[in-house]
Structure 1
Amino acid sequence: MTSHSPTSRATPFTWLCTLLGVGHVVLVAATGRLRWDHVVADVLLVGVAWAGPRSRRFLAGGLPLWLTGMLLDSQGLWLFLRGTIHTGDLWEWERQWFPAPGGTTWPEWWATRFTPVLDLLCGFSYAAYLYEVFLVAIFFFVKKDTRFEKLCWAFLVVNAMGVVIYLVYPAAPPWYVLKYGPGPADLAALPSPAGTARFDALLGINYFASFYSRNTNVFGAMPSLHASYPFMVVFYVWNKGWAWRVPAAAFSALVAFSAIYLTHHYILDVLAGMVAAIAAYLAVEAVFARRAVPAAAMTVPLTSRGDTRA
């Protein structure tokens, strides 16, 4: 019987994942940001990469998910590159283009008209928006559907777009303007759960307080990635019929409304998030379509290529 060492199963992709996992642990440790979840994510990445071909199939989509997590978690390292911080621009444009009753903005209007029912409903959607992406991706993975890879890569692309825009056009969210005003940016301002704090209070938990305490970029309102994720999922489940379309579209609409109701985003942020989702979806679809052309050409019978040999 022939024995196989772990190294004999290694591929360049295995070593790439190992380098990324180890390199990330070193980076977060060197920058004083090491947490238990960093270690778990990095160990999982390396462990799955070395577990064999079947497990490595998951990394076709798992790697972009890991890269997304690391990208968002590391935002604080390059905030010094961002441009002038905008605190009142979006507020004024929103007031002019999408005025609420009284000539104010919709986030400010809802800030004084919240209800426990909407707090629970919107808080739930704001907590579940990430899990929807993961659950749909896992479903596609189990079904061996190529949309698993596509959705995961589109997820990375839309987040990368968001991070770049946050640097080019850093903008304050509505809750910041309500609390600090539209004047010069207060760089000492702490992240806030805003309206989601009411969800925590109703349930007696600190889910959003803990979640937003890790936010390293207060001035990342435009675009709304909260709106991007569920909107992008709609495109990937669309051809599965109305049983998938209606719930996905309804959830996307709920998250979009929640972003405004909870004073985390403006309507403009939500629309920009949807545009980013479309752009990411089309970009990934184009790349996968180009990858599929050579593969399809390899399966064409020789006779159909004009081969006249006997």
Structure 2
Amino acid sequence: MTQTNPAPEGVQVHPMALLETPHVGAGSRVWAFCHVLPGARIGRDANLCDHVFIENDVVLGDRVTVKCGVQLWDGVRIEDDVFIGPNVTFSNDPFPRSKQRPERFVETRVRAGASIGSGATIRPGVTIGAGALVSDGAVVTRDVPPNAIVAGNPAYITGYANTPEVTLPGPGLAVSQAGAAVPELQARGARLHRLPKIVDLRGALSFGEIGAHLPFTPERFFMVYDVPSREVRGEHAHRACHQFLVCVKGSLGIVVDDGERRDQVTLDSPQLGLHIPPMVWGIQYQFSPDAVLLVLASDRYEAGDYIRNYDEFLAEVRGGAKA
């Protein structure tokens, strides 16, 4: 195999590679038996390992690693600092036919800093969010949220990257014990609250009072229940509305994210409340089959108060920090 054109300046190309595109950034390395077609665009400091094939309408950002046995087809967009493990499979046509080329291939995007483990399969048209991790062998059929860790077939969320799980003083009765403190959270403004518990022969009662436990006066409440355990709820922030969450039955996981720091909390007792202030991204997942989540809100429903896109959330958070 011989190089048809001189290698771009500053690019290392193995003698047994075929690099047809001139659009390769300095510091990139193209190893043996790679074939890169003329229209592809490769960023700086990329590492294309043995037996990688890249079609024309493919864009790779800077510092991307593509391990052995990967094919990147037309429509694939890989942003900066992405890792693609060996034998990951991409596709770009949800209904392929021999010798029938669609007018436009479906675009599949892997956002900055994401990683895809070996042998994973990525269906056409999905977006893998920034910082996400696709585990080895996963079959990704839907978009993966930013920072999510997914596994299985079909892939489902098992956790969130760089998100420490807050250690609570034990489930159930332990949170009501005298002197049992709840830990502080890293996410700006988010806070756990220990709620009282009263027990007698008639049963147990837990309550909260405005001012003493609730940091705002509720204008609305809603409940979430009958959620399939693998499904994710929430995934949004509010511009003005405060929320107070109590799991009155069962358990679920909550991620709070201020754009810089994240925490994961397990709510598994009606004696524990979580205050999520405005401009903190919240995610609800890992519901137990019997979970019932009560949410108290400081404001009535207003569609314009919701931020449902994580990139938009980050832009508003950073814009507010600069103001």
For normalisation by structure 1, the TM-score amounts to 0.26
For normalisation by structure 2, the TM-score amounts to 0.25
Q: Which has the larger radius of gyration?
A: 2
Name the structure with the higher strand share: 2
Indicate the structure whose relative CO is greater, using CA pairs within 8 Å and at least 6 residues apart: 1
Name the structure with the higher helix share: 1
